[in-house]
A and B are shown apart, each in its own frame.
Chain A
Amino acid sequence: MFGTTFILALRSIRRHLLRSFLTTLGIVIGVAAVVAMVTLGKATTSAVQQQIAALGTNVLQIRPGQGFGRGGGGPRPPDFKPEDVTAIEQQVAGVTAVAPQASTAATAIYEGANWSTTIQGTTNAVFTVQPWPLAQGRTWTVPEEQAGKAVCIIGNTVRQNLFRGGDAVGRRMRIGDISCDVIGVLTARGQAGFGGDQDDTVVMPIKAVQRRFTGSRDIRLMLVGVDQAYSTTAVQASISDLLRERRNITGTKQDDFNIFDTKQISDTLTGTTTLLTRIVAAVAAISLVVGGIGIMNIMLVSVTERTREIGIRLAIGAVANEVLMQFLVEAVVLSMLGGLIGLVLAQLVIAGATPLMQVPWTFDPTINMVAFAIAAAIGVVFGYFPARRAAGLNPIDALRHE
């Protein structure tokens, strides 16, 4: 009996191609929207997570001042000193390494090519705290670091623009007023979603930067690596206590420095993108339900339109269930076809959108299967009511229907 109803449903769909397509358009759009939104949302979440992972996991960032903004009046809070770095390293339990950073903008020149970039002064500790492997060359030695030698490790963008992508290690380039030896090239990281091109940088020992560029011992940023076994919150609290003491902040006075937990940022951002994905998916799911109502609507119209046909089938000897099944199968086949078209459409949307959104292309089999199953289920649910109406028709009245 199922074979028969299936044939009948397919025939009826084939006979009314345009109507069938319009009937299922809602499902097509609904499925495409749900699948595309969820997939793109997940891709965005994972892209955000990757970018944050690049900041290092279990890393605390310490800056002078309140929050990101300078905010309010009053004197600018003092920068950190090298002694603060040593103090944190030695006195706070759970700290694996502390990398100070002092940065400045400068123009790098090599054989007539010039490129303005950012110089970051730091110590070897940065490679422990924020793992960033070298593509070529080496990091500086301890003597080089302590002497503040003019040696530099360049990012891929600098290499591309200054050395035309050629060999850089062993060359000597000018940067600002000094010349320095290129000893290493960092692996390419690509665009960060926020914060621009991470590869557009030159890394030098902090002492060299302080002596030749900033002219002070000031440190604008400390990156603190936290041992996996310790909670970042506890370490953050200890550092806070230590810095308050060293900066003479007592009682209820506010901190004049801030500590960012990248893990916390990561969790927050991941939570936000996940929430956004859910909201957008919910909106898309509503369109899927609307699509289902569309199917029901047109199936109901179709039952009325085909009342005489139903009468003929009943007169010929179709039992009520066969008529019910025919219309139900028709609705389910329509919604499944719509679901399939929607899945294909979703892949096109994803393929088109991922390069624009700068997120990796992904294929999520689960959401594809779930969306398809929902489309089929919608066909059953919204097809049942019209089908039951068709099956309940009185053959004599149906035959007389104009």
Chain B
Amino acid sequence: MTDPIISLRAVTKVYGSGPTAFQALKGVDLDIAAGDFVAVMGPSGSGKSTTMNILGCLDVPSAGTFLFRRHHVETLDRDQRALLRRKYLGFVFQGFNLLSRTSALENVELPLLYRGDDRKRRREAGMAALDKVGLADWWDHTPAELSGGQQQRVAIARAIVTRPDVLLADEPTGNLDSERSIEIMELLTDLNRESGITVLMVTHEPEMAAFAHTVVHFKDGLVERVDTNHRMGQEVS
């Protein structure tokens, strides 16, 4: 077995301090192999989003270690973590989070702008990413002119335009109907298979989790159980 791309050890997270302090994570151990498609499930408040924020280098653990591509993320400062996100991570949110009044293409190009790519490369890569999510014809539409499913696909295009190692999606289908949700899941499956992107996805719906190889169950700030999905016929060993 190769080294896991993500490795959490005894990660805790405490929000607030003093008598109002709340321990959202109580010692999470989790390894994720490169190329895996992981669904994170669990009751509300069990710490799924908290974990995703740490994995996404948006937040740091209160204690414990987080190894990502051999970086000790818990020791990195804000800007160093921003650079990790820029290089290796892509985000998809429940609420899409596209820039309003901004065309689909400009939204997708945004991460490339921060990478310093020139106009031509931004355009090419942006259009390629939109093409991948099936929205090449919609490049000049603003979010207000797109359906929820289309917006989420633009968001996915934005997340993958930098060819990240890991795609993090916190309830990506939470705002979509089941038909649209299945489309998104198929898209994520494709990306995982064809581009080899490691996908980490939080979901409440077992139908969506069924698309993943690995399902991590959270409960009360701890990993309760890790299942391997045999239905896909691709056991991760």
Contacts and interface: CB of A to CB of B under 8 A. Distances in A.
Interface of A: 1, 4, 7-8, 11, 15-16, 308-309, 311-322, 395-396, 399
Contacts of B101: 15-16
Nearest to A14: B101
B85 A11 contact: no
Contact of A315 (B58, B83, B87, B116): B58
B110 interface: yes
Interface stretch (B91-99, B175-183, B199-207): B91-99
Given A1-B116, A320-B79, 6 more contacts: A308-B97, A315-B85, A316-B86, A316-B111, A317-B115, A318-B114
A319 B78 CA distance: 8
Interface of B: 53, 56, 58-59, 78-79, 82-87, 89, 91, 93, 97-99, 101-102, 106, 110-111, 113-116, 158
A43 B106 CA distance: 51
Contacts of B93: 399
Contact of B82 (A308, A312, A314): A314
Nearest to B164: A317
Given A15-B102, A312-B97, A319 B111 contact: no
Most chain A beta-carbon contacts within 10 A, residue among B89, B101, B114:
B114
B102 A399 contact: no
A7 B113 contact: yes
A4 B113 contact: yes
Contacts, number: 62
B189 to A, nearest CB: 23
A11 B113 CA distance: 12
A312 B99 contact: yes
Contacts of A312: 97-99, 110
Contacts of B58: 314-315, 395-396
A309 B95 CA distance: 12
Contacts of A8: 113
B53 to A, nearest CB: 5
A322 B83 CA distance: 12
B59 A396 contact: yes
22 contacts: A16-B101, A312-B97, A312-B98, A313-B114, A314-B82, A315-B85, A316-B85, A316-B86, A316-B91, A316-B110, A317-B82, A317-B83, A317-B85, A317-B89, A317-B111, A318-B82, A319-B78, A319-B82, A322-B114, A396-B58, A396-B59, A399-B93
Nearest to A309: B99
Contacts of A317: 82-87, 89, 111, 114-115
Most chain A beta-carbon contacts within 10 A, residue among B56, B91, B113, B116:
B113
B85 to A, nearest CB: 4
Given A15-B102, A309-B99, A396-B59, A320 B113 contact: no
Secondary structure dominating the interface of B: helix
A11 B106 contact: yes
Contacts of A309: 99
Nearest to B158: A316
Contacts of B85: 315-317
Contacts of B53: 396
Contact of B114 (A15, A16, A308, A316): A316
B220 to A, nearest CB: 21
A7 B110 CA distance: 11
A319 B79 contact: yes
Nearest to A318: B114
Nearest to B170: A399
Contacts of B110: 312-313, 316
A280 to B, nearest CB: 42
A305 B56 CA distance: 25
Nearest to B84: A317
B99 A319 contact: no
B91 A4 contact: no
A321 B78 CA distance: 11
A15 to B, nearest CB: 5
Given A316-B86, A319-B83, A396-B58, A4 B116 contact: yes
Contacts of B99: 309, 312
Contacts of B78: 319-320
A320 B116 contact: no
Contacts of B113: 4, 7-8
Contacts of A396: 53, 58-59
A19 to B, nearest CB: 11
A347 B158 CA distance: 47
B188 to A, nearest CB: 18
Contacts of B114: 4, 313, 316-318, 322
Nearest to A315: B91
A123 B85 CA distance: 94
A224 B183 CA distance: 102
Contacts of B83: 317, 319
B151 to A, nearest CB: 13
Contacts of B91: 315-316
Contacts of B87: 317
Nearest to B82: A319
The 8 closest A-B CB pairs, nearest first, are A317-B86, A317-B85, A319-B79, A319-B82, A316-B111, A15-B101, A395-B58, A315-B91
Nearest to B161: A316
B59 to A, nearest CB: 6
A319 B116 CA distance: 13
A320 B59 contact: no
A320 B58 CA distance: 13
A5 to B, nearest CB: 9
B94 to A, nearest CB: 10
Most chain B beta-carbon contacts within 10 A, residue among A8, A309, A317:
A317
A319 B158 CA distance: 18
A316 B81 CA distance: 11
